[in-house]
Every structure is written in structure tokens, then in C-alpha cells.
Amino acid sequence: MTKLSVNINKIATLRNSRGGNVPSVTQVAADVQKFGAQGVTIHPRPDERHIRYNDARELVPIVYTEYNIEGNPVPKFIDLVLEVKPTQVTLVPDADDAITSNAGWDTITHKSFLQEVIQEFQRNGIRTSIFVDPVLSMVEGAKATGTDRIELYTEGFAHQYGLGNYDGVKPYTESALLAQELGLGLNAGHDLSLDNIKFFKDNIPGLLEVSIGHALIAESLYLGLENVVNMYLQKLK
């Protein structure tokens, strides 16, 4: 079964819009695990516009499944990850002013930088994953960095699927097969939803984990958080 890691950034966005601690990031993290999710993901940004760096610290005793911290490996982020020591760190090349992640790494151009950062995390017992587009040369480049896993950036798939173009999954299938051949673990995330997750999972060999936030929280407004988590788990079997 592919594991479900719930990204709780949107809970922090809602909390921050009003101040105080409602809804509680730590309570939602506890609840999604109780409902069956096998992981919790956060993506702190330097301006702390949703998840705050202190949230990452407060989640340490709460997350007993897989704890995944995503972000651009700027010095402040690296220091946070080394302090918190999550199960996994996912390196994402997002600019400070990006609304959301919008591209994978150029793993060839940034090979030396990624190698250095990855080795530091691995020395501290933290599994590494890097965000990549479904491009074979970028998957090969990821292997050369020494990373444990890659996370396929799935916005392109989700857009094509929404248009009815099911062939849009083919680059992802090819990338997944190459990752398996190279011995890379495979994650995926971005714009995956209840509508497209089963089709994606069925076409991606070796898919270990998906990280889903925006769609899952939006769907929960209508269907309820516990119900939606279990709907994803059924589709990922």
C-alpha cells in the first residue's frame, strides 16, 4: 500500500488568518494519524506565512508516524531540520515569494549543492527526498546526488487528468520505472486529489508515499476530515 502523508499547511493558514490557536496544528496532526494517515507533512517557509518554525518543534512529540519536513534548504531551514530530526526531509527549490511549489530541481546544475546538503542530513539519520519533474535526465541526476528518494512533482499530471488527457501520466510512469531501476525510493505530491489519486497510483509502479494537503483539506470542508482520510486510504490500497 502507498502511504498517505497529510500536509497540514492549510490548517496553519486558517489559524494564522485569525490569530490564536484555532484550528490547532498539533491537534489536527494527532487526529489525521488517529484516522489512519501514515505520515504528517509540513512545509515551513522563511516568512512563516502558514507553518511556523516553532510548529515544527511542537510537532515532534505529536507525530509518531512518518514526519516529513519540506522546504528550500536555506541555512535557516537546514538548522531547523537538524534540530527537529524528522523521519524525512524533502528538498524543494521554491522561491521565497512562491505561493506554492512550482518546479522540481535541476539536479544536474545543482548536483554539488544537493550532494552537500543531502550528506549532512543523512549523517544525522534523516532520510532525504528531492522534488523533481518527471524528466528522465532529472531522475538520473537525482541518483547522482546520493538522495534516498525522489518526489515527483505532479501538478502537470493533475492538470492533464482534469482535461481528460489520461496519457499525461506517461512521463510519470517512465520516471517511476527509471527510479526503480536506479534504486531510488519514490514519493509524489502536488494537486493530487480524490478525483485523480487512484488513477495515478495504479499507473505508478513502486509508489511509496504521497503527500497531500490542499485538496485533502478542501475536500474535508464538505466531507469531514476523518472520512476524507479514509477515502484516500481506500484509493491507495
Closest CA to 8 of 233, 213, 222, 191: 213
Please check whether residue 236 is in contact with residue 201, taking contact to mean a CB–CB distance below 8 angstroms: yes
| CA–CA dist 225, 35 (Å, integer) | 8
As a whole number of angstroms, the distance between CA 166 and CA 102 comes to 21
Half-sphere exposure of 159 toward its Cβ, with a 13 Å CA cutoff? 5
Report the greatest alpha carbon distance in the chain: 49
H/E/C letters for each residue in 138-171? HHHHHHHHCCCEEEEECHHHHHHHHCCCHHHHHH
According to DSSP, the residues that pair with 67 across neighbouring strands are: 40
- Pull the grid cell for residue 38: 501514515
- Catalytically active residues are 43, 70, 190
